[in-house]
Amino acid sequence: MKAVEIDDDYIKLGQLLKLAGFVSSGVEAKIVIQNEEVSVNGETDTRRGRKIYPQDVVEYQGQQVTVIGESHEKLN
């Protein structure tokens, strides 16, 4: 499973798909999300603006990515 680190409290689903390299553009993210090809924590979600928080697992085409929050090292 791939992990993506974010600096904020959450990331939107469409942004995460781009950041993880699953899609190449926001338009492509919108299409795959609307076509019910993406699941969040095991459930299909069609909201591009869905907030994804640390520990959430997003799956697309058999690939999974999880979000992790800012590392403790960066906070010190």
Q: Can you give the pTM of this predicted structure?
A: 0.86
Average pLDDT over residues 10-35: 96
Distance CA 24, CA 9 (A): 24
Q: Is the pLDDT of residue 76 over 80?
A: no
How high is the pLDDT of residue 74? 43
Fold for domain 2-75?
3.10.290
Task: Calculate mean pLDDT across residues 34-57.
Answer: 96
Domain ranges in the chain? 2-75
pLDDT band at 70 (very low <50, low <70, confident <90, very high): confident
